[in-house]
Amino acid sequence: MKPRNLLIGSPMERVEDFRFLRGDGRFVADVNLEGQLHAVIARSAVAHGRIRAIHTGDARAMAGVRAVITARDLGRPVPVIPLRLQPLAELAPFRQPMLAHGKVRFVGEPLAVIVADSPQIAEDALDRIGADIEPLPAIVDREHAEAGETVLFEDHGSNVAIRWTAVRGDAGRAFANAQYVRKETFRIQRHAALFLEPRGFVAQWDGRARKLTLWGAAKVAFANRKILAAAMGLAEQQIEMIEVDVGGGFGSRGEFYPEDFLIPFAARLLNRPVKWIEDRREHLMTANHARETECEIEIAATGDGRILGLRGRSWSDNGAYIRTNGSVAPRNVAQFMSGPYHIENIALSTTQLITNKTPAGTYRGPGRFEADFVRERLIDLMAKDLGLDRVEIRRRNLVRENQMPYPLATITPYESATELDGGDYRQLLDRCLEDFGWAEKVKLDGRLIDGRYHGIAIGCFIEGGGAGPSEDARIVLESDGTYSVYVGSAAVGQGIETIMAQIAGDALEAPFDRIRVRHGSTGDVAQGHGSYHSRATVMGGSAIVLAAEKLRDKLREVAARALGCEPGEVTLDSGTAKGPAGKSLALSELSEAPVEAEATYRGDKHTYAYGSLAAHVAVDVKTGHVEVIDVASIKDVGRIINPATLHGQAVGAIVQGLGGALLEHLVYDGDGQLLTGTLADYMVPSAGCFPVIRSTVVELIPSPNNPLGAKGGGEGEIIPVGGVIANAVAAALADFGVEPMELPLSPPRIWALIG
């Protein structure tokens, strides 16, 4: 692809922002239909128990209540949420029913749906639902889960769902021959994506046409349509999923939850539009949690700091059920523990445990955030033990450019092999050191200045992207000469209306203002796999390139007929079709009907962006408070489509990483009750928390795995933050012997470590 427009690479402002700034965004809460009813969900207040009865009579009798739906109304068997990724038979017993029946397994699990004339009536009716539940012991930690004295699924007989294994080389031999070995235990807390706008749906059933329309689709609309069609006994073509604007996603929004089925079910049952909007407490209780992992990992090295191997075990708390993508993070912890480093010998396992907590799923950098915390801490500990420079150890062990493509460990039982696709990792480490001012700042390590101890640290990371198998795009030349670009990729805040228009503009050699991008809805293209795993630009953008080529061929054929020449004699330039002998006509005059082309891009090789991040912190030993003084990062994404939107993604990722490293924690008590179920208790970063964040994104080495040469760029900078901040705190408090092995590094935890 050799564009002449050069829209790609330009720091163009997001076209989406104009409507948001004017208040013209259309979120699912803004969708209101004639005759609309409102739904609320009755949820379990018990973490683990047997359902004796759900009393709904008083609620049904209320004026304005149209229906109270329980599991018995859903038929038998009660539909369950299937697995979208890694759909192994071993995981089938742990799928979540759309409404609880027989047992409840976490606080917040749906028991019933109340549908009423107004949200107020529905909420009042909620108070009249009575749930008779016999309490059972709650499982809230690894020890009790593994002991198995109480199990959540009696037919399975264990709280161990599956064990993932990542293997490369011969770890046993490597450790036997190592001059240095260290084993440590690490813990990463349960926290969540907490996107700005909670979930919601509006569903409408057209009984005459037997068609269901659902507003509020996000991330993977086509996959969710397939799930919903099977659960409701409909053909996929009978369902249309419509994307509206969303307040972020970060891996959690857009996966299939019980409400994705319950609201359409209610709409068809009552033959009326039904609307449901989640409140924040519901969101914290029921939307996918993430991250909670414990690791016992061992590192082996030579005396001069060359890493020989990694081995060990991890345990991932998956909560009460395994939802659509619940296995992604646990398997990634094992497969990506080596990160960007040349480590030939690996033997790692991750056990997925079932507990009485909210089910877990993906959150920006799933599994990689956890793995980087462990690995980068181990590298700094190794440097300290061996008396070596922590930067030089990293430089010495980074995968070299001439080793690419570099294979990572192979994961089983859902066997997956992958390889780093190229890059100069050492160059970016050195550039990060320079940008950060490492040579001067390293002099601050451990120094007491104005009552606070200062520390700095650096880490390296990789970001996987471009998951297949395919993505579709359709481009239409409208009769007014503008182009409509339809993509299967979903918009979850990453600015694809702008980015895709830049790609299309260059591919079509058309002005930016003549292109309109439509995305994510199931009526737009034949198939779409959505936006996850940093894939939208790589897969969707590549599909646009192919569709543009097909459309330009079609336009030459149409123009040739009008100009009386052969298609090969037609050139397309600036909205004009030119033939021989100076003949030309505007593209808008080619046909009375729109001309269109659709294409599918297929790819089965992932991309790997990479980079480094450094941080400077100051710790108050009297309070345990950690202030982030400075953060600098650099990342190579192969080819930059829009440096402005990419920079925004990078800074946002760092802020989310700092929230996970320092603030956010979903805490449960011994009975399985969520103690941090409001934003007064669950602490998230605000605008003033981290004032100095510097991020640089470069295009150094294009990916060989797609026609754009792009690598995914939406997740990378969150990945190293936990490990880098922990290492910076350790450097600051070296005189106190503090070695953080657990997140978050909240003031009480730091204060206790110092004490």
Q: Which residue has the tokens 């235990």?
A: 185
Q: Distance between the two ends of the chain, CA-based, in angstroms?
A: 61
- Per-residue HEC secondary structure of 119-170 comes to HHHHHHHHCCCEEEEEECCCCCCHHHHHHCCCCCCCCCCCCEEEEEEEEECC
Residues 275, 33: Cα–Cα separation, whole Å: 9
Helix axes 221-232, 258-270, angle to 10 degrees: 50
Which helix (DSSP H) or strand (DSSP E) does residue 552 occupy? helix 541-563
C-alpha–C-alpha distance, residues 358 and 290, integer Å: 9
- Residue 39, sorted as left (phi over 0), alpha (psi -120 to 50) or beta, turns out to be beta
pLDDT digits (tens, 9 = 90+) for 117-162: 999 999 999 999 999 999 999 999 999 999 999 999 999 999 999 9
Tens digits of residue pLDDT in 668-718? 999 999 999 999 999 999 988 999 999 999 999 999 999 999 999 999 999
pLDDT digits (tens, 9 = 90+) for 375-410: 999 999 999 999 999 999 999 999 999 999 999 999
**Cα–Cα distance for residue pair 544/535, rounded to 1 Å:** 13
Give phi and psi for 642, each to the nearest 5: -145, 105
For the chain, the residue count is 755
- CA distance linking residue 270 with residue 274, whole number of Å: 9
Look-up of token digits 């813990």? 187
* CA–CA dist 529, 237 (Å, integer): 16
Distance, in Å, from the CA atom of 733 to the CA atom of 752, rounded to the nearest integer, reads: 13
Residue 340 · residue 394 · CB < 8 Å: no
pLDDT in tens, 285-313: 999 999 999 999 999 999 999 999 999 99
Region for 6 from its dihedrals, namely left if φ exceeds 0, alpha if ψ lies in -120 to 50, beta otherwise: left
Q: Cα-flanking dihedrals φ and ψ of residue 251, to 5°?
A: 100, -20
Whether the pLDDT of residue 6 is over 90: the answer is: no
| Domains of the chain, CATH where assigned | 31-136+198-247+253-286 (3.90.1170.50), 137-190+288-415 (3.30.365.10), 423-463+606-755 (3.30.365.10), 468-602 (3.30.365.10)
Using DSSP's 3-state secondary structure scheme, residue 273 falls into coil
pLDDT value for 4: 57
Pairing relation of β-strands 293-301 and 307-317?
antiparallel
Average pLDDT over residues 583-610: 92
Residue 437 Rama label (left phi>0; alpha psi -120 to 50; beta)? left
Question: From CA 458, how far away is CA 376, in angstroms rounded?
Answer: 9
Q: What is the pLDDT of residue 337?
A: 98
Query: Is this structure's pTM higher than 0.85?
Result: yes
Which amino acid is located at 642 in the chain? N
Give the other-Cβ count within 10 Å of 221's Cβ: 29
DSSP for 18-81, please give it. HHHHTT---BGGG---TT-EEEEEEE-S-SSEEEEEEE-HHHHTSTTEEEEE-GGGG-SSPPBP
Bridge-based pairing of strands 483-487 and 515-519 is: parallel
pLDDT at 5: 63
The H-or-E segment that residue 752 falls in is helix 747-754
**Is-contact 69 265, C-beta < 8 A?**
yes
Q: Is the pLDDT of residue 1 over 50?
A: no
Q: pLDDT by residue (tens digit) across 228-274?
A: 999 999 999 999 999 999 999 999 999 999 999 999 999 999 999 99
User: What is the per-residue pLDDT for 31?
Assistant: 98
- Which structure tokens are listed for 315? 């345990």
Single-letter residue type at 437:
G
CA–CA gap between residue 126 and residue 201 (Å, rounded)? 19
Cα angle 147, 149, 154; round to 5: 110
DSSP structure class, residue 477:
E
* 3-class secondary structure, 454: strand
Tokens representing 475 are 């481009």
24-27 contacts: CB < 8 A, separation 24 or more? Answer: 25/245, 26/244, 26/245, 27/197, 27/200, 27/244, 27/245, 27/246, 27/247
Confidence check: pLDDT of 92 > 60: yes
Residue-by-residue DSSP string for 617-653? EEE-TTT--EEEEEEEEEEE-SS-S-HHHHHHHHHHH
Mean pLDDT of the chain: 96
**Spatial contact of 469 and 586, defined as CB atoms under 8 Å apart:** no
Whole-angstrom distance, CA of residue 721 vs CA of residue 725: 6
Q: At what angle do helices 368-386 and 390-397 cross, to 10 degrees?
A: 120
120 Rama sector, left if φ>0, alpha if ψ -120 to 50, beta otherwise: alpha
The beta strand positions in 414-469, using DSSP E, are 419-420, 448-449, 452-465
Rg (Cα) of the chain, in Å, rounded?
27
Whether pLDDT at 575 is above 90:
no
d(CA 420, CA 464): 9
* pLDDT, tens only, 349-375: 999 999 999 999 999 999 999 999 999
Q: Is 520 within 8 Å of 15 (Cβ atoms)? A: no
- Mean predicted confidence (pLDDT) in 731-741: 97
- CA-closest candidate to residue 445, choices 391, 379, 382, 375: 391
d(CA 68, CA 61): 10
Look up tokens 């700092």; give the residue: 658
| Residue 582 pLDDT class (50, 70, 90 cuts) | confident
pLDDT value, residue 590: 84
Task: Please write the tens of the pLDDT for every residue from 187-220.
Answer: 999 999 999 999 999 999 999 999 999 999 999 9
Q: pLDDT tens digit string along 658-673?
A: 999 999 999 999 999 9
